[in-house]
Structure 1
Amino acid sequence: MRDIVLFLFIAIVLAMGFKRPFLWVLLYIYVDIVSPQLIGWGFIRSLHLSLVAFIAAFVGYVLLDSKEGSRFTITQAIMAALLVWCGYTTIGAAFQEFAWAKWDWVWKSIFFAAFLPLTLRTRLRLEAALVVFVLSIGANAITGGIKTVFGGGGYGQLVLLVQMDSGLYEGSIMSTAAIATIPLIFFLARRGTIFPSHWTVWTFAVALIAACMLIPIGTGARTGLVCIAVFFVLLLRQVKYRFLMAGLGGVLFFAALPFLPAEYTQRMETIAGFRSDESASTRLEVWRWTVDYAKANPTGGGFDAYRGNSFTYEIPEIEGEGNNRRITYREVTDQARAYHSSYFEVLGEQGWLGLFLWLSLQGLGLYQMERIRRREGPKRADRDIAMFDMATALQHAQIIFLVGALFVGIAFQSFVFILLAFQAALWSQWRRLRHGFKLSPAAQKLADARREAMA
Structure 2
Amino acid sequence: MRDILVTLIVFASLPLIIKNPVNGVLMWIWISVMNPHTQGWGFATTFPFAQIIAVITLFSLATSRAQKTLPGSAITLTLLAMVLWMNVTTLFAIFPAASQLQLAKVMKIMLMSLVTMVVIRSRQDVHRMIWILVISLGFYGVKGGIFTVREGGNFRVWGPIGTFIGGNNEIALALIIAIPLMRYLQLSTDRRWVRHGLTLTMALSGMAALGSYSRGALLAIAAMIGLMWIKSHKKLLAGVIITLLAPLALLFMPERWMERMDSINNYQEDSSAMGRINAWRMAYNLAKDRFFGGGFEIAEPSVFYLYAPDPTAVHAAHSIYFQALGEHGFVGLALYLLLGVLTWRCAAWVVRNSSDDPELLWSSNLAKMIQASLIGFAVGGAFLSLLYFDVPYYLMAAVVALRALTEQRLATRSAALSR
C-alpha deviations, 1:361-385, integer Å up to 9, x for none?
11100111111111223xx467721
Among 401, 417, 433, the alignment partner of 2:409 is 433
Q: 1:26 — aligned with what?
A: 26
Percent identity over the alignment is 24
Letter paired with 1:334: T
Aligned length: 412
- Unaligned 5+ segments in structure 2 are 415-419
Q: Secondary structure at the match of 1:273?
A: helix
> Is the contact between residue 299 and residue 316 of structure 2 (CA under 8 Å) also seen in structure 1?
yes
* Cα distance in 2 for residues equivalent to 1:148 and 1:65: 49
- Give the structure with the larger helix fraction: 2
- In structure 2, give the amino acid aligned to 1:22: V
Q: For residues 185 and 65 of structure 1, what CA distance do their matches in structure 2 show?
A: 33
Distance 1:99 1:336 in 2: 18
Cα deviation, residue 119, structure 1:
0.6
The residue aligned with 1:185 is 182
Which deviates the most, 350-359 or 235-244?
A: 235-244
- Equivalent position of 2:143 in the other structure: 143
Question: How much does 1:123 deviate?
Answer: 0.7
What does 1:24-423 correspond to in 2, within 5 Å? 24-67=24-67, 71-151=71-151, 157-160=156-159, 162-164=160-162, 166-191=163-188, 196-240=189-233, 242=235, 245-307=238-300, 308-310=303-305, 334-377=312-355, 380=356, 384-423=360-399
Distance 2:53 2:69 in 1: 23
2:161–2:167 contact (8 Å) kept in structure 1: no
Specify the SS of the correspondent of 1:334.
Answer: coil
Does the residue aligned with 1:263 lie in a helix, a strand or coil?
Answer: helix
Q: Give per-residue Cα distances to partners, 1:179-213, cap 9 Å, x unaligned.
A: 1111111111112xxxx321111111011101220
Superposed displacement of residue 149, structure 1: 2.0
> Which whole-Å CA distance do the structure 2 matches of 1:437 and 1:245 have between them?
33
Q: What CA distance in whole angstroms lies between the structure 2 residues aligned with 1:384 and 1:9?
A: 34
- Secondary structure of the residue aligned to 1:411 is coil
CA displacement 1:364-410 (0-9 Å, x = unmatched) = 00111111111223xx4677211111111112211111111111111
Distance 1:395 1:255 in 2: 26
The structural deviation recorded for 1:146 is: 2.1
User: Could you tell me which residue of structure 1 aligns to residue 417 of structure 2?
Assistant: none
Q: Which has the higher strand share?
A: 1
Measure, in 2, the Cα distance between the counterparts of 1:179 and 1:158: 14
Q: TM-score, normalising length from structure 2?
A: 0.91
Q: Which runs of 5+ in 1 are unaligned?
A: 314-331, 439-455
Whether the 8 Å contact between 1:152 and 1:218 is mirrored in structure 2 is no
CA distance in 2, matches of 1:154, 1:102: 36
Report SS of the residue matched to 1:169: coil
Inter-partner Cα distance in structure 1 for 2:118 and 2:193: 33
User: Residue deviations 1:217-237, cap 9 Å, x none?
Assistant: 221111111111112211221
The answer on whether the counterparts of 1:118 and 1:425 sit within 8 Å (CA) in structure 2 is: no
Deviation at 1:158, TM superposition (A): 3.0
Deviation string, structure 1 residues 224-280 (Cα, Å, up to 9, x no partner): 111111122112213355356435423333333332122211111111111211111
CA contact (8 A) 1:83 1:111 kept: no
Q: Shift in Å at residue 128 of structure 1?
A: 0.7
Secondary structure at the residue paired with 1:94? coil
Aligned mates of 2:396, 2:359 — CA distance in 1: 23
Deviation at 1:65, TM superposition (A): 4.9
Task: Give the 3-state SS of the residue equivalent to 2:349 in structure 1.
Answer: helix
Q: Cα distance 1:312–1:104, how it changes in 2: closer, same or farther (>3 A)?
A: closer
Q: When the two structures are superposed, what TM-score results if normalisation uses the length of structure 1? A: 0.84
- Partners of 1:299 and 1:350 within 8 A in 2: yes
RMSD: 2.5
1:91 deviates by 2.7
1:107-157, Cα deviation, whole Å (9 max, x unpaired): 1111211221211111111111111111111122222222222229667x5
**Pair 140,256 (structure 1): closer, same or farther in 2 beyond 3 Å:** closer
**Contact (CA 8 Å) 2:275, 2:313: kept in 1 or not?**
no
Deviation at 1:295, TM superposition (A): 0.7
Deviation at 1:16, TM superposition (A): 2.8
Larger Rg, first or second structure (1 or 2): 1
Measured at CA, do residues 132 and 301 of structure 1 come closer, stay the same or move farther in structure 2, by a change above 3 Å? same
Q: 2 CA distance for matches of 1:278 and 1:53?
A: 42
SS at the partner of 1:302?
Answer: coil
Distance 1:14-1:215 versus aligned 2 partners, 3 A rule: same
Counterpart CA distance in 2 for 1:275 and 1:309 is 20
Distance 2:245 2:389 in 1: 32
8 A contact 1:375–1:383 mirrored in 2: no
